[in-house]
């Protein structure tokens, strides 16, 4: 039983460790030039300097905390806007045919437009800075949240809500205690997809001349030819995105378990 538990915990690390071993072998055998793929040790040294280095001692030294906080702020602002708009509109669209007919064509058409196409318009509207990045993040995260919320609400058996109404349950309690928990698997999928896309579009927004943030750091590293720092930035974004995904998943489970206990 203990061995099986260790095996399950170690299973997700097999592919990353395999990629690391392959990277080490490629770098050790010089199969790829160092200017195209730096050695993992060089990347580790660059990461240590980026996180723990003294600011000003070398390029990118000590920038991590400031970049992380600014990137997190932009992601959370944009993602929050997408959630506030996406979940209510999605649930209404899934439950009310009139709302679905009203929004479906518009949402489908806008979803087909690549996110990068919104960048020039956003820069004209908001200029270079936080507002443009937040707008791009919100636009990108909205669609998976809306579509999954609508799909989850649409699949709920109407008899559940009718049974609640016959038992004297108020509309608010029906929404919180029946509708949202029943649709939560699909809503959760939309939220997690939206969070992942939010981090991707964060980098796009921060590459437009923003002075701080992990996307800005990657762009600065490209200008200086620092491929090791670019890889560090990619790894930091991957780790931050995974951490946000875990926090979102467990936080939503806790919130809705508490909400159902109060109804």
Helix-helix angle 214-224:180-206, to 10 degrees: 30
Do 211 and 195 touch, CB atoms closer than 8 A? no
Kindly state the tokens that stand for 67.
């970049």
**From the candidate CATH numbers 3.30.70.100, 3.20.20.70, 1.10.3720.10, 1.10.443.10, the one assigned to the domain spanning 63-262:** 1.10.3720.10
10's CB contacts (< 8 A; 6+ apart) are: none
Angle subtended at Cα 34 by Cα 32 and Cα 36, rounded to the nearest 5 degrees: 70
* Whole-prediction pTM: 0.83
Domains of the chain, residue spans: 63-262
Q: How far is Cα 183 from Cα 170, in angstroms, rounded to an integer?
A: 18
Length of the chain (residues) = 263
Q: What is the pLDDT along the chain (263 residues), one digit of tens a residue?
A: 555 656 667 777 788 888 888 888 888 888 888 888 888 898 999 998 888 888 877 888 888 999 899 999 999 999 999 999 998 898 888 878 888 888 888 888 888 887 778 888 888 888 877 888 889 999 989 999 999 988 888 887 666 665 655 555 556 666 666 677 777 888 888 999 999 899 888 888 887 777 888 888 988 888 888 899 999 999 999 999 889 988 988 887 777 665 454 44
Q: Would you state the torsion angle of the CA atoms of residues 30, 33, 38, 40, taken in this order, to the nearest 10 degrees?
A: -10
Kindly state the tokens that stand for 158.
């109407």
């Amino acid at each position: 039983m203990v061995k099986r538990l260790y095996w399950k915990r170690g299973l997700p690390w097999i592919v990353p460790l395999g990629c690391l071993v392959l990277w080490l072998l490629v770098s050790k055998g010089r199969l790829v030039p160092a200017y195209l793929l730096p050695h993992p040790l060089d990347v580790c040294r660059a990461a240590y300097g980026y996180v723990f280095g003294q600011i000003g001692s070398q390029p990118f030294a000590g920038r991590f905390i400031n970049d992380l906080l600014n990137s997190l702020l932009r992601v959370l602002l944009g993602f929050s806007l997408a959630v506030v708009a996406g979940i209510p509109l999605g649930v209404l669209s899934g439950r009310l045919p009139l709302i679905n007919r009203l929004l479906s064509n518009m949402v489908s058409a806008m979803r087909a437009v690549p996110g990068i196409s919104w960048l020039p318009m956003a820069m004209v509207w908001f200029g270079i800075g936080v507002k443009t990045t937040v707008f791009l993040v919100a636009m990108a995260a909205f669609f998976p949240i809306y579509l999954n919320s609508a799909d989850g609400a649409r699949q709920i058996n109407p008899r559940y809500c009718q049974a609640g109404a016959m038992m004297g349950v108020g509309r608010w309690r029906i929404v919180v205690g029946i509708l949202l928990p029943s649709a939560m698997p699909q809503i959760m999928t939309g939220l997690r997809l939206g969070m992942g896309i939010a981090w991707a579009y964060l980098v796009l927004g921060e590459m437009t001349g923003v002075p701080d943030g992990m996307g800005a750091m990657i762009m600065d590293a490209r200008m200086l030819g620092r491929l090791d720092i670019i890889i560090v930035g990619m790894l930091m974004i991957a780790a931050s995105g995974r951490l946000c995904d875990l926090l979102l998943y467990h936080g939503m489970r806790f919130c809705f378990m508490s909400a159902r206990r109060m109804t």
